[in-house]
Amino acid sequence: MASVILVLNTGSSSIKFSLYDGTKIQLTGQISGLGAVPTIDLKSHISSTHMERPLTPKEGQDHRAAIAALLRVLEEELDGCHVDAVGHRVVHGGTKYTGPVRITDEVLNELARLEPLAPLHQPHNLAGIRAARTAFPGASQTACFDTSFHRNHPWVNDTFALPRNLYDEGVRRYGFHGLSYEYICDYLKVSAPDVYAGKVIVAHLGNGASMCAIRDGQSIGSTMGFTALDGLPMGTRCGQLDPGAVLYLLTTKGMTADEVSDLLYKESGLKGLSGMTQDMRTLTLSDDPKAAQAIDYYVFRARRELGAMAAVLSGVDTFVFTGGIGENAAGIRSRICASQHWLGMEIDENKNIANAVDISTETSRMNVLVIPTNEEEMIRRHTENLM
């Protein structure tokens, strides 16, 4: 009998979930509004039905109560569902965890020590784990890390030019979105082994955004660094920033560390530049000049980081778009690829508009691909392998 695996991606006010029976997906959904107006949104891939209903304030007061409510919904939907294993997305695995790991008390304590390295993500990931261990006491629990894929970086791509003792303490470049990059690599290994074995740059463009330089399926460099703030501008995150600007905000502007954190994580990026929203679809349709400028900056930084990752690899054979924007925004893809002939990149606009997998022209020296990512499926695979 196939194992029933629940995949959880826990945030501060939401819990995304997917339920698998073996390799077959059964349910997907999200609990949102934790601590405020909680609701559960669930789609059945068995009956092709969609259900959305409010939770009581008690059910949505915290992660533990919400996951207990999710358990009751699963039992109702699947007639006494028994979950064999739970796979968790955990943003930070530090230097110790170079792959998925079965969760024990010792592992949980170790991950809690990493909370200062990812203060807006890690505490919520761990709250989800603790709640799931209570709700599913007989199920095996697996942690899958966004940082693991990057742990074999060359040293020069891992370090900052700071005193060595800080590197030894863990102040280094970790890289993120690893589960997404790992899924793309697995896809290429099966469907295009020649591409997989070459020099590949993957652009994960969504509300969070980064690029990764990959050779022979191994991460060589990433635009994200110590935190998920670095590199490309994102929906609400700033991307690359002169550290002197942070010092200015703290000293001259008199902002507190919490205020600076909120500014860089929640009020910057497309939202901050446009003064409107982080939603690329809304910005694309807007006639506000600030919306156009926000998109201009987004495209400019993407093209700049593309060049940097190509330099890291000493050339590039394939460029892959993935993530919500990368997979769906043909206009953004077109602008990023424009005038990249020096890299051998040419795209066919008809293929691009049609969201084809291969959008490169017949004469392009570089493959340009659009591949939907699936981080939940990657977590399922890891969880199954560790059962």
279 catalytic, yes or no? no
DSSP per residue over 85-151, as a string?
A: EEEEEES--TTT-SS-EE--HHHHHHHHTTGGGSTTTHHHHHHHHHHHHHH-TTSEEEEEESSGGGT
Give the pairing type, strands 39-44 and 140-145.
Answer: unpaired
How buried is residue 286: exposed, middle or buried, by Cβ count under 10 Å (0-12/13-18/19+)?
Answer: middle
Whole-angstrom distance, CA of residue 206 vs CA of residue 228: 13
- What is the number of other CB atoms lying within 10 angstroms of the CB of residue 113? 12
How buried is residue 298: exposed, middle or buried, by Cβ count under 10 Å (0-12/13-18/19+)?
Answer: buried
List the catalytic residue out of 146, 216, 279, 358.
146
- What is the number of other CB atoms lying within 10 angstroms of the CB of residue 193? 10
From the centroid of its chain, how far is CA 361?
Answer: 29
Token pair of 221 as six digits: 């460099």
Whole-angstrom distance, CA of residue 85 vs CA of residue 71: 13
Catalytic residues: 146
